[in-house]
Structure 1
Amino acid sequence: MKRLLLILSVFFTVAVASAQNINPVSWTFTSKKLGDKEYEIQMLATIQQGWHLYSQSQPADAIAQPTSFQFNKNPLLDMSGKVKEVGKMEKFKDKTLDVSANQYSNKVLFVQKVKIKGKAKTNVTGKLEFQTCNDEKCLPPKSVNFSIALK
C-alpha cells in the first residue's frame, strides 16, 4: 500500500510540474531606430494554436487579467505615449459565464516609442505580466522580465 501511495504521489508531482511548465506564449524583444535619438521597442507575443492572450484593455465584465507593462525608471529615456497593440483583436463573449474579453490569437505586437536624452547608449528594462487561456482552462498569470538594447 505504501508503494502504491508513493507511486501515485510521484505521478501527481510530475503531472503538476509539467502542467506548470505549459508555456503557450513566447516573447521576442527588439528595438527599431526611427530617427535621431528616437526608437520603437517591439515586444512580440507568439501564441500557440488554440490559446489566447488578453489585450491591455478589457470590458467591464472581463475576468481575465489584461496584459500589462512596467518599465523601470531610466533617467536617459523619455517614454512617448502608451504601449500600442498591433494585431487582430478578437472580441470574445462567453454566454455560459456571461463574461467578455478582448483577446488575440496567433500573435500580437506591443509597441512603445522612446527617446534617448543625450548621446548615451542604454537599454529599456522592465517586466510584463500576462494571462493566457484556451477553450478549456486558463493558466495563472505570468511575469516576464525584459531588457531591450537601443542600437
Structure 2
Amino acid sequence: MKKITLVLSMVLFTIAGAFAQIEKPVTWSYAAKKVSKTEAILYIKATIEDKWHIYSQNIKDGGPVKTTFTFSPSKDFGLVGKTTEPKAVVKYESTFKMNVSYFENSVVFQQKIKLNKATTTVKGKVEFMVCNDKQCLPPEEVEFSVPVK
C-alpha cells in the first residue's frame, strides 16, 4: 500500500510541475505597411505585462541585455537605416549600477525596408531581456515572419 501511495504522489507532483506556469510577460506582434511601390515600414510591437519592462536597443556595455533585431538576408528587400524606437524611460537601476533606458506597457519598433519585389516576407529574430522590480528573466530570442503585400 505504501508503494502505491508513493507512486501516486510522485505522479501527482510530476503532473503539477508540468502545468506550472512559465512566465512570459512579453508578447510580440508584427505588421507591415507599404509607403510606396518600393518602400515599406515594418512595425514590431512588444506588449509588456504590468510591472515588467524591456530594455532599449541603446544600452551601454555592463548593463542589461539590450533589445536587438536581426533580419535574415534576402534578395527581395534591403534594410534602410537602423531599427528605430520611441523615446524610452531612463532610470538608474542599482542592479546594474547605471542609468538604463527601457519600455513599459508596450513599444513599437520600426524598420524601413526597400523592396526589390512587390511582395515578400521579412524574417528575423528579436533578442530581449525583461525585468521587474524583483527579478530579471533570462534573455530570450523570438523569431518573426512579417508578410509585406
**TM-score category by the smaller chain?**
0.7 to 0.9
Q: Which structure 2 segments of 5+ residues have no match?
A: none
Distance 1:69 1:59, change over 3 A: same
1:113 is aligned to 112
> How many residues matched?
145
Q: Which residue of 1 aligns with 2:135?
A: 137
Cα distance change of structure 1 residues 91 and 11 upon mapping to structure 2, 3 Å threshold: farther
Where does residue 43 of structure 1 map in the other structure? 44
- CA pair 120-35 structure 1, distance change in 2 beyond 3 A: closer
Offset, 1:9: 6.0
TM-score normalized by structure 1?
0.83
Q: What is the CA-CA distance between 1:101 and the residue it aligns to?
A: 1.7
Indicate whether 1:69 and 2:69 are aligned.
Answer: yes
C-alpha distance 47-96 of structure 1, shift in aligned 2 (>3 A): closer
Secondary structure of the 1:35 match is coil
Taking structure 2 as the reference length, the TM-score comes to 0.84
Report runs of 4+ in structure 1 exceeding 6 Å deviation: none
Deviation at 1:99, TM superposition (A): 3.3
Q: Is the 8 A contact 2:30 2:146 kept in 1?
A: yes
Mean alpha-carbon deviation: is it higher for 106-115 or for 5-14?
5-14
Choose 1 or 2 for highest CA Rg. Answer: 2
Contact 1:125–1:146 (8 Å) recurs in 2: yes
Q: CA RMSD in A?
A: 2.4
Gaps of 5+ in 1: none
Q: Percent identity?
A: 34
Maintained 8 Å contact 1:59/1:100: no
- Shift in Å, 1:14: 4.5
